[in-house]
Amino acid sequence: MRTFIGIPIPVDLRERIVEIQHLLKGNVKFVEPENLHVTVKFLGEIDENSVENVISNVHVALERFKRFRITLENLGCFPDLKRIRVIWIGVKENKEKLVNLIKEINSVLSGIGFCREKRIEPHVTIGRVKRRDERVVNSVKKIGDVNIGEMFVEKVVLYKSELMPNGPVYTELHRWNI
């Protein structure tokens, strides 16, 4: 099954993100509000036997963390403005704490065969771009500095992702409370 680890976004911030999505012009496929999350780690295809191993290892990684506040701010894109493929909202306040949490999860998961991320940029993906569109570039530049709000990092979720014709469907497989 296709899986990833993420931090769910509270409803009030999802509503604010949808407002920002409506301001973006051009050829953008938006992430559905119920699917918005802070990306922690994409695991890819894993079998059901590996799920318990992931759960126990991430549990160990999260033991030393207590809940903390982050702010979601500013639009960004991967890989860059000239070749936009992903539009995202970044993390500002306590970004380093979140990076440390993600690094800890990466560390324990690399011990059971998952690749370690080279570059960690905590973010919420809000849209994907299939082909270059100057309207997308201009609207990202125009919106740029935006403050979505603050939230607590108090749970981390292992999701199953099923790719469907109308977009992915995420199912919670496990939740770790911090």
CATH number reported for the structural domain that contains residue 32 in this entry: 3.90.1140.10
Task: Say how many C-beta atoms besides its own lie within 10 A of residue 3's C-beta.
Answer: 21
Tens digit of each residue's pLDDT (9 = 90 or more) over 118-129: 889 999 999 999
Alpha helices in the chain (DSSP H): 11-23, 48-62, 95-110, 134-143
Tell me how many domains the chain contains: 1
Q: Catalytic pick from 22, 59, 123, 174?
A: 123
* Catalytic site includes residue 174: no
Q: Catalytic pick from 22, 37, 59, 174?
A: 37
Tens digit of each residue's pLDDT (9 = 90 or more) over 11-55: 999 999 999 999 999 999 999 999 999 999 999 999 988 999 999
pTM comes to 0.93
The boundaries of the domain holding residue 137 are 2-177
User: Which pLDDT score, from 0 to 100, does residue 156 have?
Assistant: 98
Instruction: Give the separation between CA 159 and CA 171, rounded to whole angstroms.
Output: 5
